């Protein structure tokens, strides 16, 4: 099959640490092993401090999303994209309202040694936190 369609209900949702930040991973047999993809839902007042070991494109579906990094910050709204380069510390956050994102990573984010070393920060959810 040349194309696949996904929605938030098909994602394997996880909670990041003790925050109201949720990652919906789409890693399954239908997603190419050369990349990772999924959704994220961030609530205001919660941050995700991270050092990505992969390049990532993030598409804002709703809300305002901010990425803080040494020397600056990037904020994006619906229908805008953010590119996060691997290797530098970043802080992901909602900018005043709940945010829903879609993302793609190369290589797959969940397969990198750095992400695997942080596995204890992610707790599986039994239901989607997104309607």
Q: What is the pLDDT of residues 79-90, one digit of tens each?
A: 999 999 999 999
Q: What is the pLDDT of residues 9-22, one digit of tens each?
A: 999 999 999 999 99
Token pair listed for 19? 């925050």
107 alpha-carbon distance from chain centroid: 14
Token pair listed for 96? 């005043």
Give the closest residue to 82 by CA, choosing from 58, 54, 99, 50: 58
Mean pLDDT of the chain: 92
Q: What is the pLDDT of residues 39-73, one digit of tens each?
A: 999 999 999 999 999 999 999 999 999 999 999 99
Token pair listed for 5? 């369609």
Instruction: Flag whether 24 is in a domain.
Output: yes
Structural domain of residue 39, as residue ranges? 13-118
pLDDT(121) > 70: yes
Instruction: Flag whether 57 is in a domain.
Output: yes
Instruction: Flag whether 8 is in a domain.
Output: no
Asked if residue 107 has a cis previous peptide bond (ω within 30° of 0), the answer is yes
Bridge-partner residues for 50, per DSSP?
90
Instruction: Flag whether 2 is in a domain.
Output: no
Instruction: Flag whether 1 is in a domain.
Output: no
CA separation for the pair 102, 40 (Å, rounded): 6
For the residues 99-114, what does the mean pLDDT come to?
Answer: 90
CA separation for the pair 46, 4 (Å, rounded): 32
What integer pLDDT is reported at residue 1 of this predicted model? 64
Query: How many domains would you assign to the chain?
Result: 1
Instruction: Flag whether 129 is in a domain.
Output: no
Instruction: Flag whether 91 is in a domain.
Output: yes
Confidence of residue 30 (pLDDT cuts 50, 70, 90): low
Give the closest residue to 10 by CA, choosing from 96, 18, 63, 29: 29
What integer pLDDT is reported at residue 34 of this predicted model? 82
List the CATH number of the domain containing 69: 2.60.120.10
């Amino acid at each position: 099959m040349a194309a696949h369609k996904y929605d938030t209900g098909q994602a394997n949702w996880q909670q990041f640490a003790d925050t109201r930040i949720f990652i919906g991973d789409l890693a399954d047999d239908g997603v190419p092993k050369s990349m990772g993809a999924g959704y994220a839902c961030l609530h205001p007042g919660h941050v995700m401090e991270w050092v990505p070991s992969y390049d990532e494109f993030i598409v804002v579906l709703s809300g305002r999303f901010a990425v803080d990094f040494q020397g600056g910050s990037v904020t994006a709204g619906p229908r805008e994209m953010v590119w996060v380069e691997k290797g530098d510390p970043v802080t992901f956050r909602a900018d005043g309202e709940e945010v829903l994102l879609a993302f793609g990573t190369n290589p797959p984010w969940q397969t990198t040694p750095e992400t695997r070393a942080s596995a204890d920060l992610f707790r599986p959810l039994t239901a989607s936190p997104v309607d």
